[in-house]
Amino acid sequence: MIKDITIARPDDWHLHLRDGAMLEGVLPHTAKDFARAIIMPNLIPPVVRGADAKAYRDRILTALPDGMIFEPLMTLYLTEDTQADDVAAAHQSGLVKAVKLYPAGATTNSQSGVQDFDKVTGVLERMAKIGLPLCVHGEVTDHEVDIFDREAVFIDRILTPLRQKIPDLKVVMEHVTTKDGVDYVMENEKNLGATITTHHLIINRNHLLAGGIKPHYYCLPVAKRESHRLALRAAATSGDRRFFLGTDSAPHTDDLKEHACGCAGIFSATNTMSCLAHVFEEEGALDKIEAFASLNGPAYYELPVNQEKMTLVKEDEPVIYPEKFQTGAGPVTLFDPGFDLYWRVV
């Protein structure tokens, strides 16, 4: 029985840090384990221009506790008014590593997102030319499309035509949640990668809805059927270079989660590595956890693998994590996997 495993220090390729007091409260939870993270730009107002990304990066680094080493990898929020020259300049400077596509209304603070994709074609063509990846929240927002089908419809209606139109554009399908998404990535070799979250490897829609609504399991994309969860686990633990970790750790204060119209988002930064070790051990794939958490993401983004190491040790007694964390913005509930965790980062 494997009792410890050492891997290259991991990265998080999809992270929400928010801003202000919330940023200060949650940043140390990521910086403790992860060397780098792709930082989501859906603030209010959103991070649209290179100057916005620089200012946000400065705020993140100011909030980083002394002694912690962490590199925020900045993104820009794609709008119908985004300027290709600004995007290219921000990328050339080394500041911006990706551009984020939110279909308007798809998730938290996505109201500034894209409705008419023809209006962003010029920006996407420029990105393809300079090798700047597009990270997509892969859901349609049409009211007539069932919320559990939004990812599959997005692939057929938007993503496939987009990639056919601009085949050289590098695309990351963020937080894939369906077998449809996994199969699409597996069928397309060129310029396509996908992140998978911690929580989508562990929960299905029963966790959210059976026996009462569980607001702290509510996220977007919403958790799907068990068959989809199993497809995600198979992809994540396969070692396939196209799949890598993006926690989509997304903190909201408890009053906004436990609400008549609760916010979407699961905060998992603190215990992600313990959860992943549990999942990979269950799948008999501990030898693949380094590929998923530490190797595949840097390869896709053409960045070096971290030289620092992380060791996970399996304890005899459960590792205890707090149920909640206090931040200056209010209490935030940590993701509860629903089972004991025995793997500890040392």
Q: Mind listing the pLDDT tens digit for each residue in 283-296?
A: 999 999 999 999 99
Residues 39 and 10 sit within 8 Å (Cβ to Cβ): no
Tally of structural domains, the chain: 1
Per-residue tokens: 317? 């007694």
Supply the DSSP symbol for 143: T
Instruction: Annotate 190-248 with three-state secondary structure.
Output: CCEEEEECCHHHCCCHHHHHCCCCCHHHCCCCCCCCHHHHHHHHHHHCCCCCCEEECCC
- Per the document, the length of the chain is 346
Query: How many helices (H) does the chain have, and how many strands (E)?
Result: 13, 13
**Contacts of 295 by beta carbon, 8 Å cutoff, 6+ apart:** 8, 241, 305
pLDDT in the model for residue 106: 63
pLDDT in the model for residue 210: 97
Supply the DSSP symbol for 108: T
Supply the pTM of this predicted model.
Answer: 0.97
**pLDDT-based confidence at residue 117 (cuts at 50, 70, 90):** confident
* 248 included as an active-site residue: yes
Per-residue tokens: 102? 């939110």
Per-residue tokens: 263? 């916010």
Residue 60: domain span: 4-345
pLDDT in the model for residue 114: 85
Q: Which among 239, 233, 238 is positioned nearest to 295, based on CA atoms?
A: 239
Q: Mind listing the pLDDT tens digit for each residue in 140-168?
A: 988 999 999 999 999 999 999 999 999 99
Task: Name the average pLDDT for the chain.
Answer: 96
Place of tokens 């050289």: 168
- Distance (Å, whole) CA 295 – CA 303: 10
Assign residue 162 the CATH number of its domain. 3.20.20.140
Per-residue tokens: 253? 């204060």
pLDDT at 110 exceeding the cut of 80: no
Q: What is the mean pLDDT of residues 21-46?
A: 97
Q: Mind listing the pLDDT tens digit for each residue in 192-236?
A: 999 999 999 999 999 999 999 999 999 999 999 999 999 999 999
**pLDDT-based confidence at residue 72 (cuts at 50, 70, 90):** very high
Radius of gyration of the chain (CA): 19
**pLDDT-based confidence at residue 115 (cuts at 50, 70, 90):** confident
Percent of the chain past pLDDT 70, that is, above it, reads 98
Quick check: helix, strand or coil at residue 159? helix
Percent of the chain past pLDDT 90, that is, above it, reads 94
pLDDT at 40 exceeding the cut of 60: yes
Q: Mind listing the pLDDT tens digit for each residue in 126-145?
A: 999 999 999 999 999 889 99
Catalytic residue among 11, 33, 240, 248: 248
pLDDT in the model for residue 116: 87
Any bridge partners for residue 172, and if so which?
Answer: 135, 193
